[in-house]
Structure 1
Amino acid sequence: MAQNQPPAPPPPPAPGRSPQPSLGELVSRISENVSALVRGEIALAKAKAMRMATSSGLGAGLLGGAAVLGLFAFGLLLTMVVQLLALVMPLWAGCLIVAIILLIIAAVLAYVGLQKLKAAKADNPDPRPNLKQSVETVRTAVVAGLERGNAQ
């Protein structure tokens, strides 16, 4: 992280001049201070972004690892269910029952997801009517102002 350096002290007044800085010197100092402030804010924003990216990357990696392990555990649970069903029926029938149940769940989730996506797409705002109304309001106000100005 870059360290902000304090602005340089003002130069001593020249002999024969008043101790008050001129307008040009004041504007120059203000410009330098604003530039230093902007550079400092940019450096701070960069540091915050780097810190956020590092922690977000680590969090995403950990979540990805958890998801992989969760999928393995889910597969093992499904295998257990198939083996339990195989105790009372043939193995192929247990596999078929578990597969059909999973396909039904997947179909329901897909249907609900598509409905949510369609609802979100329908809720997409269209700015054109509001923009047309705003332009018309401004146009009316300008015409009314010009008419009042010409009437005076």
Structure 2
Amino acid sequence: MTGTTTPGPVRDEHHSVGELVNQATEQLSRLLRQELALAKEELAAKGRRAGRGGGLLGAAGAFAYAGLLATAGTAIAALSLVLSVWAAALIVTAVLFVIAAVLGATGRAQLRKAAPPTPEEALGSVKADVEEIKERAHR
């Protein structure tokens, strides 16, 4: 006898409808978990960047406030050469409050226009996944 072998069991490449549905459900579940993980990571990264930026802006604001106080003192001293000290202080205080009101109104308007933070990459990926699933479903 020469080296003839008997063929092994032939693997059936056809799956039952139940197996296909189960497989599709598992794949969809895995896809959703991956998309949620992507969205979570994207929002965490944006949050870290926003935290660092906010801290730096806070420090800049503290130094700007100290500079503003020094400038106000200088303006009062300069105006007191022409007016009495109380009048110079009153004028500088009024100007500072007007500037604060304008900045506050502008900031409030900007906050109203701000869009809520969304995980844009993850949403785009989910939309692409949905389109792909729709395409395959129609085939």
Question: 2:73 is matched with which residue: 79, 83, 89?
Answer: 79
Normalization by structure 2: what TM-score? 0.58
Deviation above 6 Å: which 4+ runs of structure 1? Answer: none
Deviations 1:95-143 (A, max 9, x none): 233234445x269749x94xx98xx9xxxxxxxxxxxxxxxxxxxxxxx
Q: Partner residue of 1:44? A: 38
Give 1:71 deviation, angstroms: 1.5
Normalization by structure 1: what TM-score? 0.54
SS in structure 1 of the partner of residue 79 of structure 2: helix
Deviations 1:69-106 (A, max 9, x none): 21211111111111112233443332233234445x26
Q: Structure 1 residues 32 and 107, CA, compared in 2 at 3 Å: closer, same or farther?
A: closer
The code of the aligned residue for 1:77 comes to T
Matched, 1:24 2:27: no
In 2: Cα distance, 1:88 partner to 1:22 partner:
97
SS in structure 1 of the partner of residue 62 of structure 2: helix
- Specify every segment of 5 or more residues in structure 1 that has no aligned partner in the other structure, as ranges: 1-14, 121-152
Q: Structure 1 residues 22 and 88, CA, compared in 2 at 3 Å: closer, same or farther?
A: same
Q: Partner residue of 2:52? A: 58
Q: Structure 1 residues 102 and 50, CA, compared in 2 at 3 Å: closer, same or farther?
A: closer
Identity %: 33
Q: CA RMSD in A?
A: 3.1
Count of residue pairs brought into register by the alignment: 100
Give 1:68 deviation, angstroms: 1.9
